[in-house]
Structure 1
Amino acid sequence: MKTAQSVNAEEMLQDFILVKKACSGNTEAFKTLVTLYGTKVRSLGKSFFRNVHDTEDFVQDVFIKAYTNLHSFRFEARFSTWLMRIAYNTAVNAVNRREEYAPLFENTEISDTDYGPEERCLRESVRQAVRSAVKELPYRFSICLDLYFFYGFPYNEISIITGWPVNTVKSHIFRAKKLLKPKLEAVIGP
């Protein structure tokens, strides 16, 4: 049985090999990185942009920036953390330029194929309640909450992605949960 550390080490080794090959001009290696991490980047883009075209432009911009700056990747963190930092900065810059923001979780999909119609309806109600509650959170809280709960990043990697200190990230997540709790309890119960 593989431990989380061994899986993480294998992922880092695979990324190391792919990045080295891509830096040497191997386009197939970079295509593999795009395949491995495209979904994560696209999901983050959906959190920021209102339509599919903007999201796809965002994904393309992120991978172009990653490719042109691949030589600057220092292997001190996971490749996914480095890439998500580029993605986050690209999204924030684009939003600041356009002054347009789509609420987080707008396009987050949870698979409902294993549930009956009543359960799907209940799950959709919960999803809508979460979306509404998160829309009301301050931006810093919602982005930390999103990266932690929906992308599974640990505090230290959220710190790297956002550029905020680890304790600030922890505080934002704590405060976001504290603000969300009464709102969600009012809608879906304790």
Structure 2
Amino acid sequence: MKSNPLSEDYELIRKINEGDATAFRQLVYKHKDVSLSLAQSILKDAVIAEDVLQDVFIKVYRKLNTFKFKASFSTWLYRIVVNTSYNELKKRKQNISVDAIDDTFNITSEKKDLMEEQDQRKYINLALQKLRPDEALLLRLFYLCELSIKEIEVITSFKPSKIKVDLHRGRENIGFHLKQLLGKDLKQLL
């Protein structure tokens, strides 16, 4: 019988609120990969995203007693990840230059073994790095996290129309960047 991830999270939260540090480690482990991916979508820097994620989980630990169980824990957590990441972006006043990113990813001869899942992730992540932070974030929330437009609205505070437009643009732009990276080998990737 398949376990319910919501009830697993709620049980872990109950244990954490009772002082069980092991339960918090389990909760972090369960959600860290997706949370890091969301932070990287916004910040475009793995090291900064890891630092932000540490701050996020400290905030989560301190504020977990305020979690009301009205939404899923992941929705609440992703909202904190998104807000903390955007705050860090503002603090650093980063202007992400697509030209600078293009110079970083000059891929020519490494196009042979594209069917491996590791290579698929690599090229998709390279293309995601070239997208605007909002587009990359929304693509990850919608496709990776499999969240609905309504759930994404709660996490990001974006209007549904912005979410739909940015998802559309994001899909077009990621296709464009994948074509630039892979050329005719794109069909092998997909």
Q: Does 1:14 align with 2:18?
A: no
Matching residue of 2:49? 55
- Number of aligned residues: 170
Bigger relative contact order (CA 8 A; separation at least 6): 2
RMSD: 3.3
What is the deviation of 1:61? 0.2
- Return the TM-score normalized by structure 2: 0.71
| Rounded Cα–Cα distance in structure 2 between residues aligned with 1:79 and 1:132 | 29
Contact 1:37 1:80 in 2 (8 A): yes
What is the deviation of 1:17? 1.3
| Rounded Cα–Cα distance in structure 1 between residues aligned with 2:35 and 2:85 | 10
Matching residue of 2:126? 131
Instruction: Give the counterpart of 1:141 among 128, 135, 140.
Output: 135
Residue identity opposite 1:145 in structure 2? L
Q: Does 1:69 align with 2:63?
A: yes
Query: Which ranges in structure 2 are unaligned for 5 or more consecutive residues?
Result: 102-110
Identity of aligned residues (%): 29
| Rounded Cα–Cα distance in structure 2 between residues aligned with 1:34 and 1:154 | 23
User: Tell me, what secondary structure is at the counterpart of 2:112?
Assistant: helix
Change in CA separation of 1:38 and 1:157 when aligned onto 2, cut-off 3 Å: same
Alignment of 1:69-88 (within 5 A): 69-88=63-82
Change in CA separation of 1:167 and 1:94 when aligned onto 2, cut-off 3 Å: same
Instruction: Give the counterpart of 1:118 among 108, 112, 116.
Output: 112
Please identify, of 71-80 and 58-67, the stretch whose mean Cα deviation from structure 2 is larger.
71-80
Q: What is the CA deviation profile of residues 86-112 of structure 1, one whole-angstrom value per residue up to 9, with x for unaligned ones?
A: 011111100110022669xx9xxxxxx
Change in CA separation of 1:23 and 1:102 when aligned onto 2, cut-off 3 Å: farther
Change in CA separation of 1:19 and 1:125 when aligned onto 2, cut-off 3 Å: closer
Residue identity opposite 1:131 in structure 2? L
Contact 1:133 1:184 in 2 (8 A): no
Matching residue of 1:161? 155
- Return the TM-score normalized by structure 1: 0.71
| Rounded Cα–Cα distance in structure 2 between residues aligned with 1:162 and 1:19 | 23
Change in CA separation of 1:100 and 1:173 when aligned onto 2, cut-off 3 Å: same
Contact 2:127 2:177 in 1 (8 A): no
